[in-house]
Structure 1
Amino acid sequence: MKKTIPSSLLLIYIVIETISAASATEVHTGYFIDSPVTGLYYQTSSELSGTTNKGAFNYRSGDVVRFFLGKDENGYLVSTLSGQEVITPTLTTTTPSKSINLTRLLLSLDSTPNDRKEIILASKMLSDINFQQQLKNIDLNVLDQSTKDLNLNLVSVKEAVNHLNQSQQYIENNFTSNEIIYHPINKRLEHIIIKKKDSQGRLCAYDLKYRNHPRSSPPFGNIEYTINKTHLIQYPSVGDYFNGCFLDKTKSLSSEKTHISQFKHWEGLIGCANTGCTRNDLNGFSLDNYNDEGDWKYRTTAMNFDPETELFMEKVQGLGPNEHIKHQNQSEKIIFTYPKEKGKNIPFEGIWRQTQYQGKTINSYCLLIKQGVIFQDPEVKDSCSQNEKHYVLNVTKKYPDMWWINNENKTAHLEQMNLLVRWYQNGNQPQHTTWEYLPAGEEWNQGILYRYRQTVQRQSDGTEEINTFTVSEFSKI
C-alpha cells in the first residue's frame, strides 16, 4: 500500500515554507547613524537601492549593503557590510582610525554644520566629478594627508570623537531592545588581537621576509575559549601578551577553567553569554579618560557585532598626551572574536575585480586566483568573465604582498587580511602594504578587500607617518 503524507502535516509544511519565504523577502528598515545621515546612496544584494533619509535605508534579511558618498553607485564607496538595524561608522571598517576619520569626513560634508542632530550631506559637492576623483584617492586611515587635495575644512579628531559619543547616546535612547540577537554559549570562540601601533606611535608591520624564522614574532596573537553555563574554559594558545608591537611568545596560555561569576561585570560576549546578548550588549562607543590603578587611559573604545557573520569587533585607539599622560599615547589595536570555524576559512580562490586608484588614473583588472597563482584577463571589460580560460597572463609577481595565496587549505585568515606588511621589491627594497577586509555575508566572502600601497617615514618625535600612494578595491565575482 502506498504511503501518503497526512493532509494536516502537509498543510503545516506548506505554512512553514510560506512563512520562511515571506520572511526572506520582507523589507526591513535600517538606519545609518552618525547622527542620522541623509544623502548616502545605498544598494543591497537583493536589488534594493535609494538614498538614506534621516538615516533610513531598506534591506532584506541576509542582504549585503553598499553605501556610497554620491548620487549613485559611481560615488565613493564608504563600506560593504551585512544589512542590520543600526549601522555606525565604527561598524563599517575594521580599523580604529578609519572609523573616526569617516565621522570627520561626514561631519565636514554636512550642509547644516550648526545643527548636528542630523547630517545632511552636501549633494552639490558630492556630484562634482573632480571632487569624486579626489575622494576615491583618499585613504581614510590617514585622512589628514588628503585635506589639501579635497579642498575641505576637516573637523578635528576631538570633535569627531565627541560626536560619536553623542551618537552612541542617541542610539541608546532610540534603539534599545531586549531582543536576544546572539547566543555565544557553548561555542568555541577565537579571539584575535592585532596591534596596529604601539604607544609611541610606531607602526606595527609584519615583515614577510622573516615570517617563517623561528625567532620572528608577529603583531598579532590569539586566545581560544568556550563559555558554558558555569565556566569559561580556556584552551592552549599563543596568548595576547605583547612587547610593543610584537607578540611575546614566552607568555603563551595553557588550559584553564574559571567560574563564570568572575566575569559578571564584563562587557561584550563574555558578559552576556549566559543570558544571551542584545544589540546594545555588543555595540557601543566610549571615550575613556580615567585612572586605571596608576595607568591613565585616554582613548576611544568601540565594539560592534554583525549577527550575519557572527563577528564581534573591538577597536581601541589612544588619543595622544593629556595632563595625565606624557608619552605619545598613540597605540591602536583591533580585536576580533568569532566562532573558530569561520575566521580561518575565508575563500580567496576564484575571480576578483580589482579597481586601482592612483592620482587621476583609475584602472580595472580581472584576476583569477588559483593554486597559489594569480592570472589576469588581458582584455579590459566592463565585467569579468567567468570563463577561466580567458585568464592567461601570470601576474603573481605583481602581488608579492598577497601572501596568503600560498596557504595550504586555500583559504585566508582574517588577521592575514587586516595587517600592515613589509615586503621587498627586487629582494632588498622595502615596501609597505596595509590590507583591510571586513567580512560580509554568511560565508564571509562578500566584503571588499582593500590594498593600500604606502611609504613609511620616521618623524623627529619617534612616531612613524604613513603615506598612501595607491588604493585598490578587490571585489570577488
Structure 2
Amino acid sequence: MMKRTFSAITLATISHLVMSASEIQAASDIQTGYFIDSPVTGLYYQTSSSLDGFTDKGAFNYKDGDVVTFYLGTNKSALPIATLSGQEVVTPTLASATPSRSVNLTRLLLSLDSTPGNREEIILVSKALSDPQFQKKLRQINLQALDASKDKLGIDLVSVQEAARHLDESQTYIEKNFTSEEVILRPLNTKFRNIIIKRRDWQGNLCFFDVARKSSPDYYGPIGSMTYMVTAEGIYEYPDIGDYFGSTDSSVSGCELNTKHRYTEVLFEPIEVFAEWGGLIGCAIQGCTRNDINGFTIEDYDDEIDWKYRTVAINYDPNTQLLMQKNQGLGPKENVSHLNRSESIWLTTRADANHHVDFDGLWQETTYLSDGNIDNQCLLVTGGKVLSAAPDDDECPTGIKAYANDVTASHGDMWWLEPANSKATLAQLNTAVKWYDTNTKPRYTSWEYLPAGENWEQGVLYRLQQHIVVDNKGIQHPQTHLISELKKYQNRESRK
C-alpha cells in the first residue's frame, strides 16, 4: 500500500516537474524587444503567439516569428498604430511604410506624453486613452495627414520639425544602447531591386496612379525601379525603367516617371565613387549590421543641384528581408525657397525575391466610420471579384455561398485585381490611386501596407478613401472621409 502511495506521489511529482520544464522552455523562448521613440511606456501590445501586456520603458515580449500589434490605449479595442514582425528594436519609422505616417506617429505619441518636460521617456498614462469617446476620435484620424485631424482630437500637436528632431535624438539613443557587430545582411555580389514610389511632389501634391492609363505601355505613374549589384570593384546598374520623375519643361508631371530617362544598358561605376555613402551600399563589402541599415537623420546640405532639407529614415526587417528608405521634405527655410513637401519611399529587396501578396481568399475589413463607430465585413476575393458577408461574432463564414453580395465596384481601388491575377506587389499596395466608379466619377484612395511575417501576408493594409480640395494656390489637399484596415482572415483556431 505504501509503495502504491509512494508511486502515485512520485508520478504526480514527475508530472509537475515535466509541466514546470515545459513552462521553463516556453519562458526561454520569449524574447524582449523595445519600442523606442524615446523608450515608450504604456503602449498595449499583443503578439500572434498570444503574448500581451504594456510596454515598460519600451520593453515588450515576443517569440521568434511573432507578429506584434501595438495599440494606443489599454486593450486591443483601442486604436492599433502598428503591426510588424517582432524584433529587438521597433521605431515609428520601422513601424510604417510612409514618411508622413512615421513622423505623425511620433507627433501623436509626444502630444499624449504625460511628462512633456522630459523627452527621455514617453509615458502614456493619460486617462483619455481609456476613454471610449476619445478612442472614437482617435479612430477618425489619418496618420498620413495628422494636421487635418487636430481639431477632432482637441489636443495640442507638436510640430513636424519637433518630431523630426526627436526622432533624430532617438536614433542617437538607439546607437548608444543597442550597438551590435552582428552582420544581418551580406549584400556583396547580390543583385538588388529598388522600387521608388513618389508619394508627394515638391509642392505637397499627392501623387496618384491613374487606372485610366493603366494599359498605356509607357505609363508607370509614380512608380520607378532600378536594379543594381555591388561588387568589390564597383556597382553595376542594369536596364530598368529608372527613377527620374517629371521633366524640366513640365511636359511630364513631377509625380510621374519619365521613361525617357530609363536605363537601357548595363552601367558601371568604380567603388571609390561611393566611398562616402552609407546604407546598404556603404556596408556591402564588410557586411551590414543592424545600425548600418537602420537609422533616422535630418539632412540639411547643398548637393550642388538643390539644397536638401529633409528627413531620411532607413530600416531593415530581417524577418521580411525588406529594406525601406523614406524621405520627407521639411518645408521652406533660409536656403530652400520652394515649398519642399516632397515625399518618397524606396523599397529594396533581392532582385530574385519575387515577393507579392496573394489576395485570393478571405479578408476582414474594418472601417472606422465618421461618427467614431466601427463597421466590420468579411470579403472573399476570387477571380478578380470582391464578395462580402457579415461576420458572426468576429468570425467570417467559410462557405462560399455566404458571400452573396458583390462589392467589386465599391472596391475598384484594388487596381491590382484581374480575373487571371490576384497578386499585388508591394509597390501597388503603397501607391495612391485615382480610380473611377460606375458613373466614371474619379475617386481617390491612398494605400499603405507594411509586410509582416515571413510570407509578407500578416501585415495590415490601410485603405484611405479621400477627396481632393485645391486651394487658391493650386495645391492639392487630400481630405480623408473613410479609413479602413484589411487583414488576411484567420479563424479563431488558427489564431491560437
Q: Same fold (TM over 0.5)?
A: yes
Aligned to 2:271: 260
Letter in 2 for 1:47: S
Aligned to 1:362: 374
CA contact (8 A) 1:422 1:430 kept: yes
Q: Distance in 1 between matches of 2:377 and 2:118?
A: 43
- 1:285 maps to which of 296, 310, 319: 296
Q: Distance in 1 between matches of 2:62 and 2:387?
A: 35
Deviation, 1:354, is 0.2
| Unpaired segments ≥5 residues, structure 2 | 1-24, 247-253, 490-496
Secondary structure, counterpart of 2:93 in structure 1: helix
- 1:202 maps to which of 201, 205, 228: 205
Residue 322 in structure 1 maps to residue 325 in structure 2: no
Aligned to 1:406: 418
CA contact (8 A) 1:418 1:435 kept: yes
1:425-454 CA-partner distances (Å, limit 9, x unpaired)? 234311100011000011100000010000
TM-score normalised according to structure 1 size: 0.92
CA contact (8 A) 2:468 2:479 kept: yes
Q: Is the radius of gyration larger for structure 1 or structure 2? A: 2
Residue 416 in structure 1 maps to residue 444 in structure 2: no
Deviation, 1:217, is 4.2
Secondary structure, counterpart of 1:167 in structure 2: helix
Residue 163 in structure 1 maps to residue 179 in structure 2: no
Aligned length: 457
Deviation, 1:359, is 1.0
Letter in 1 for 2:325: E
Q: Distance in 1 between matches of 2:218 and 2:233?
A: 39
Q: Distance in 2 between matches of 1:407 and 1:99?
A: 35
Aligned to 2:230: 227
Aligned to 1:247: 257
- 2:149 maps to which of 146, 149, 154: 146
1:374-395 CA-partner distances (Å, limit 9, x unpaired)? 1112455411133334323222
Letter in 1 for 2:336: I
Letter in 1 for 2:448: E
Q: Distance in 1 between matches of 2:419 and 2:471?
A: 36
CA contact (8 A) 2:412 2:435 kept: yes
Deviation, 1:256, is 2.2
Deviation, 1:311, is 0.6
Q: Distance in 2 between matches of 1:155 and 1:297?
A: 23
1:184-204 CA-partner distances (Å, limit 9, x unpaired)? 233332100011111122221
**Counterpart mapping for 1:285-324 below 5 A:** 285-324=296-335
Q: Distance in 1 between matches of 2:125 and 2:386?
A: 41
TM-score normalised according to structure 2 size: 0.89
CA contact (8 A) 2:465 2:482 kept: yes
CA contact (8 A) 2:193 2:228 kept: yes
Aligned to 1:472: 484
Residue 126 in structure 1 maps to residue 137 in structure 2: no
Deviation, 1:156, is 1.1
Residue 177 in structure 1 maps to residue 180 in structure 2: yes
Letter in 1 for 2:169: Q
1:54-84 CA-partner distances (Å, limit 9, x unpaired)? 0000111111110001111111001100111
Secondary structure, counterpart of 2:286 in structure 1: coil
1:345-400 CA-partner distances (Å, limit 9, x unpaired)? 22221110000012123110001111211111245541113333432322211201
Q: Distance in 2 between matches of 1:185 and 1:393?
A: 51
After TM superposition, the structure 1 stretch with the greater mean CA deviation from structure 2, 322-331 or 265-274, is 265-274
Residue 27 in structure 1 maps to residue 39 in structure 2: no
CA contact (8 A) 2:218 2:259 kept: no
CA RMSD of aligned residues (A): 1.9
Secondary structure, counterpart of 2:100 in structure 1: helix
CA contact (8 A) 1:138 1:146 kept: yes
Aligned to 1:442: 454
1:383-426 CA-partner distances (Å, limit 9, x unpaired)? 11333343232221120101112174431111100111111123
After TM superposition, the structure 1 stretch with the greater mean CA deviation from structure 2, 160-169 or 404-413, is 404-413
Aligned to 1:71: 74
Residue 331 in structure 1 maps to residue 342 in structure 2: yes
Q: Distance in 2 between matches of 1:141 and 1:343?
A: 28
Q: Distance in 1 between matches of 2:73 and 2:140?
A: 15
Deviation, 1:271, is 1.5
Letter in 2 for 1:394: D
Deviation, 1:263, is 2.6
Q: Distance in 1 between matches of 2:245 and 2:26?
A: 46
